[in-house]
Structure 1
Amino acid sequence: MPADPDPTVFPLDHLALRGERQALALVLKHATLSHEALNARVGLLAGWLKSQVPGSGARIATWLPKTELSCLMPLAAVRAGLVHVPVNPLLKRAQVAHILADSGASLLIANKGRLDTLEPADIACPAFDEPAAWGEAEALGKDLPPSNAAPDSLAAILYTSGSTGRPKGVMLSQANLWLGAVSVAHYLKLTPEDRVLAVLPLAFDYGQNQLLSTWYAGGAVVPLDYLTPRDVMKAVDRHAVTTIAAVPPLWLQLAELDWPLEIATHLKRLTNSGGALTSSLVRALRTKFPQADLYAMYGLTEAFRSTFLDPALVDAHPTSIGTAIPFAEILVVNDAGQEAAPDEEGELVHTGPLVAQGYWQDESRTAERFKPAPAFAKLGGMAVWSGDRVRRDAQGLLHFVGRRDAMIKTSGNRVSPQEVEEAAIATGLVAEAVALGLPDPQLGAAIHLVARATPGALPDDLIPALTRALPNFMVPRHVHWRDVMPVGPNGKLDRVALAAELSAQLSQEPTP
């Protein structure tokens, strides 16, 4: 890896100045932008935003697919002294209305189809569709120069998917986003020659970093709204893509495709976050793309990204989440509040300059998650107490155990859903799995497994196989087979929807 990355923080919109002026920066459906053109379009959009919302610090919301405006807005908003609120295009009216109201958005830009789904009471600010916004910006012709925003000034509010309630807005500063881009570009070893396929939602912290880290490195982004995994393969072929960032459900679908050698060899790196890789998926990706570096990563929106696994270690440690990324200090704190010993389970605590500023207008939830770092931390300051349970092995590599609030308590035992899921996939009978604990009068909670079978597998073989692999208290009492597993707005398997569906089914069953 190169020398330590530069910790100097610039205003976020200076990323538009990083690349070689005539080098490719953005590959859209019907146009391309060089880095020079990217900076010019950011300035034009910022000038129009400033004319619409002349004050500083106001929130500007976008509810768009991966268009030119949605790609440029993270830079244009801060150049205009505003705060960007990207709304996931997969969200529906009620969730969008909540985000607009909660953020106090002063402007919304969406496409006409999405705007037509909103009721008058849902929106209290001016709204534009994207063609109208660009039309006014070009007619105004006001070009703002690069900004001089303070490193700690608010740059964006990213709303979580709301898996534990209504979406909450994570406040990210210029420094959070800039240093996140520097860190990822550094450890992925991105170069100006790289073309990064942006398949993840731009409202997702991992998705937005696809843009920022690539532009920091001087490379090019290829945004893609795909319908099928084959669309991803076609884009890799068409644009000679070198890098894909994805979450496990998509990686599994891509690994199941038949990749021609001439397409597969374009890829130099594969990066995963948003869920743990399984040993079988790692083997499949390494077999399908042997020339590509595979990066397993762990992150949370409140601190952007925490760890990565060196690709040289992935074959020997396929389920590890690695070690701290640049600018992060990662601690494992045991239940006594002390630094956990090797292989002792504890809570992952992240401290350092990537820690966000808290939740927008939510002091109580901020106080629950953002607390002072423990006394043994080197960086100190405010830390994110993740709620995720991990262990650090004797080699210093971290391993995800599960979320404290997701642990299943059955027959007096604490069971990690991830451990049950991994065991199911390890049988070779299951391609995807979600383990849930649902109320049971005898057990407290019974383990339900929702699974998609591998081609040709016999479903009746699963429970006997799990009985051989797991202690009795960890063997699912119920298995629910699905042809397709549901995914949430960020592309992850939708545990909340599955739990609600199964709970509703159980409530309608007669009591024995």
Structure 2
Amino acid sequence: MPQPPDPDPRPLDHLAERGRADAPALVLKDRTLSHGDLRTRVAQLAGWLAERIPKKGAHVASWAAKGELTCLLPLAAPRAGLVHVPINPLLKRAQAAHILADSGSVLLIANEARLASLESGDIPASCETLSEGSLWDDVAQSDAALPPSDADPDALAAILYTSGSTGRPKGVMLSHANLWLGAVSVAHYLKLSADDVTLAVLPLSFDYGQNQLLSTWYAGGCVTPLDYLFPRDVVKACARHGVTTLAAVPPLWVQLSELDWPGDATAAMRRLTNSGGALTPDLVRALRADFADADIYAMYGLTEAFRSTYLDPGLIDANPASMGTAIPFAEILVVADDGTVPGAGEEGELVHCGPLVAQGYWQDAERTAERFKPAPAASRYGGTAVWSGDRVKRDADGLLYFVGRRDAMIKSSGNRISPLEIEEAALASGLVAEACALGVPDAKLGHAVHLVVRPADDTPMEDPALAKKLARQLPNFMQPQVIHWRQSMPLNPNGKIDRTALMQEIAA
């Protein structure tokens, strides 16, 4: 496939100017915005933000379900010269409080229920709060509106928080260029067009989820956001809106493949996309049975470089486990431990080079230095590359295959989970003296979260209060599927909890 026609990055907010003015751009619960409406609303919201927060480069956070606010802020905040910090609406107050403090956000916009969940000390003194409804009332009373910006494409546009294998969530710094070129690349290889309708079921705080908006609007198409309660809601929405593009992660695809798909829900479908874990041969066959005329795109990505690879749909039946090859604007190298490029079939670390590489982690020079390093000598781009920590190999035809991870990251239902966050919540309960969170392979979830704990002196074994406390402190996708109680923890020669031994015991 040839490279996209316009590789030069532009200010991100120019995506609002792409579509035909009278064509639909965003289907909300109570109305549909045309691309002309999108331009007007982004200009108004950006103008209000610039009046409210005159300091350029300040950070504004959002913590709300999918709607006009969360869909427009990714464009309106950068147009106002601000940096958007979206908080996953599935997170609870402890995680939101960390992101607010770490990001230095000066304004949090959220719905009333989420604002009410925050406790004293959760909101930094320098951060104001505003309810989602009040914001639109204020915008309606403001005469301010900003035209498309002339921002430097290398300027910071967003900070997306992602969990690592250790420590609290870290903020990945993304420029206008990162996000613009990501939208161009995906729109190009997915062959999106102005008559496409994308059902946005993934969280917009997730790079894969946010790109549902950006790539569709780059192509001049329409986005229908959906916060679904049950997988059946996705089927109904596809039928109701004539959806042509559906993106999901493997656990959701498993659930969707178990449902009956009526003809009116599949008739318009042109493409299915997957990231956040591999598709199995059985799942590919199931999707093919339900969506005979749709292309199936298997993809691999990491927030630190947006997306790295995709598999041509024509190859997926013969190579269902492959990650494919580099997306447009990305250079993907397999690098051996000695720094050389290994031959076909030999394992190495996936290294992503090129203009999609993020600017590092917000206020975290140590972890930035661990992942963002000079590109290997074999790179044609040079500059800074992301060293993913993922082990891959390339076959004789140039197709990439995932081998494993170096770290202890848990990936469940498409979410990247830090074991330390779960362990800290367990220890904070006061019921346990030691805790170790593990990701155990699971056919539906990718990884199921298992928590191994040693009770505190005054805590009985199998105390049900622990699960109840974790349910209040952690989002649903972080909840342990199983809690294992132990009188003692195995230790390695360094005196640390032996994760490998626990994993072998639990997975046996």
Report the TM-score, using the length of structure 1 for normalisation: 0.82
Q: How much has 1:165 moved relative to structure 2?
A: 2.4
Query: CA separation in 2, counterparts of 1:237 and 1:8?
Result: 37
Q: Give the CA RMSD over aligned residues.
A: 2.6
1:51 aligns with 2:51: yes
Paired position in structure 1 for 2:120: 120
Give the counterpart letter for 1:226 in structure 2. Answer: Y
Runs of 4+ deviating beyond 2 Å: 1-5, 161-165, 431-439, 488-491, 504-511
TM-aligned CA deviation for residue 23 of structure 1: 0.5
Q: How many residues align?
A: 443
- Indicate the residue corresponding to 1:217 in structure 2: 219
Q: Any conservation in 1 of the 2:449–2:480 contact (CA below 8 Å)?
A: no
CA offset at residue 330 of structure 1? 0.1
Residue 103 of structure 2 corresponds to 103
**Residue 505 of structure 1 pairs with residue 505 of structure 2:** no
Decide whether the 8 Å contact of 1:5 with 1:183 is kept in 2.
no
Who is 1:317 aligned against? 319
Q: Which residue type is aligned with residue 331 of structure 1?
A: L
Q: C-alpha distance in 1, partners of 2:338/2:266?
A: 48
Partner amino acid, structure 1, of 2:102: D
- Partner Cα distance (1:326, 1:189) in 2: 12
Change (3 A) 1:262 1:83: same
1:241 to 236, 240, 243: 243
What is the Cα deviation at residue 505 of structure 1?
A: 2.6
Shift of 1:336: 1.6
Shift of 1:509: 9.9
Structure 2 distance, partners of 1:118, 1:490, is 14
- CA displacement 1:221-266 (0-9 Å, x = unmatched): 0000000000000000110000011000100000000111232222
> What secondary structure is seen at the aligned counterpart in 1 of 2:324?
strand
2:240·2:265 contact (CA, 8 Å) conserved in 1? Answer: no
Aligned residue for 1:191, secondary structure, equals coil
Distance in 2 between residues matched to 1:279 and 1:145, nearest whole Å: 49
Q: What displacement does 1:407 show?
A: 9.9
| Structure 1 position 334, deviation (Å) | 1.1
Alpha-carbon deviations, 1:257-316, whole Å to 9, x = none? 011123222211000001111111111111111110000000000000000000000000
**In 1, are the aligned partners of 2:299 and 2:309 still within 8 Å (CA)?**
yes
Cα distance in 1 for partners of 2:321, 2:191 equals: 22
- Determine helix, strand or coil for the equivalent of 2:62: strand
Superposed displacement of residue 27, structure 1: 0.4
Which residue of the partner structure matches residue 467 of structure 1?
A: none
Provide the residue aligned with 2:290 in structure 1. Answer: 288
Distance 2:347 2:164 in 1: 27
The AA in structure 2 aligned to 1:244 is L
The answer to whether the aligner puts 1:297 opposite 2:277 as a matched pair is no
1:104 Cα deviation after fit? 0.6
Contact kept, 8 Å, 1:303 with 1:355, in 2: the verdict is yes
The whole-number CA distance in structure 2 between the counterparts of 1:437 and 1:108 is 33
1:461 maps to what in 2? Answer: none
1:243-392 equivalences under 5 Å are 243-392=245-394
The Cα offsets for residues 195-227 of structure 1, whole Å up to 9 and x where unpaired, read as 000000000000000000000000000000000
Q: Which aligned pairs between 1:434-453 and structure 2 lie closer than 5 A? A: 434=447
What is the deviation of 1:136? 0.5
Question: Aligned partner of 1:210: which letter?
Answer: Q
1:147 is matched with 149
SS of equivalent residue, structure 2 residue 306: coil
Separation of aligned partners in 1, 2:145 and 2:409: 53
The Cα offsets for residues 68-103 of structure 1, whole Å up to 9 and x where unpaired, read as: 011000000011000000000011111111100111
Counterpart CA distance in 2 for 1:138 and 1:432 is 44
Tell whether 2:30 aligns with 1:17: no
What does the per-residue CA deviation read over 1:137-158, in whole Å, with 9 as the maximum and x for residues that have no partner?
1101211111100010000000
- Partners of 1:195 and 1:241 within 8 A in 2: yes
| More deviation, 183-192/117-126 | 117-126
Match of 2:458 in 1: none
Give how far 1:432 is off.
Answer: 5.2
Q: Which amino acid aligns with 1:37?
A: D
Contact (CA 8 Å) 2:165, 2:408: kept in 1 or not?
A: no
- Give the distance between the partners of 1:212 and 1:4, measured in 2 at CA: 16
Larger mean Cα displacement after TM superposition, 157-166 or 367-376: 157-166
What 5-or-longer segments of structure 1 have no aligned partner?
409-416, 426-430, 440-485
Question: Residue by residue, what CA displacement relative to the aligned partner does 1:53-80 show, whole Å, maximum 9, x if unpaired?
Answer: 1010000000010010110000000110
Does the Cα contact within 8 Å between 2:270 and 2:293 map onto a contact in 1? yes
Q: Distance in 1 between matches of 2:44 and 2:245?
A: 29
SS in 1 for 2:303: coil
1:37-76 maps to which residues of 2 (within 5 A)? 37-76=37-76
Report SS of the residue matched to 1:388.
Answer: strand
Query: How do 1:23-34 residues align onto structure 2 when only pairs under 5 Å count?
Result: 23-34=23-34
Greater relative CO (CA pairs within 8 A, separation 6+)? 2
Partner of 1:455: none
> In structure 1, how many angstroms separate the alpha carbons of the residues matched to 2:74 and 2:113?
23
Q: Distance in 2 between matches of 1:29 and 1:507?
A: 52
Alpha-carbon separation, structure 1, partners of 2:98 and 2:372: 23
**2:159 paired residue number:** 157
In the TM superposition, what whole-angstrom CA distance separates every residue of 1:87-141 from its partner, at most 9, and x where no partner exists?
0001111111110011110111000000001123211311111110011111012
Deviation string, structure 1 residues 360-391 (Cα, Å, up to 9, x no partner):
00000000000001111111110000000100
**Mapped contact 1:90–1:489 kept (Cα < 8 A):** no
CA distance in 1, matches of 2:386, 2:20: 37
Matching residue within 147, 153, 169 for 1:167: 169
Q: Hey, what's the Cα distance between the residues in 1 that align with 2:114 and 2:449?
A: 34
Provide the rounded CA distance (Å) in 2 between the counterparts of 1:137 and 1:436.
43
Percent same amino acid among aligned pairs? 66
Secondary structure of the structure 1 residue equivalent to 2:147: coil
Question: What is aligned with 2:424?
Answer: none
Amino acid in structure 2 at the alignment position of 1:80: A
* Equivalent residue number for residue 476 of structure 1: none
CA distance in 2, matches of 1:30, 1:167: 35
Structure 1 residue 161, shift from structure 2 partner = 3.6
- Looking at structure 2, the residues matched to 53 and 241 of structure 1 have their Cα atoms a distance apart, in angstroms, of 38
CA contact (8 A) 1:64 1:70 kept: yes
Classify the secondary structure of the residue corresponding to 1:353: coil
Query: Residue 121 of structure 2: SS of its match in structure 1?
Result: helix
User: 1:422-433 alignment to 2 at 5 Å?
Assistant: none
Q: Which amino acid aligns with 2:401?
A: H
Q: Give TM-score, length-normalised by structure 2.
A: 0.83
Q: CA deviation at 1:163?
A: 5.1
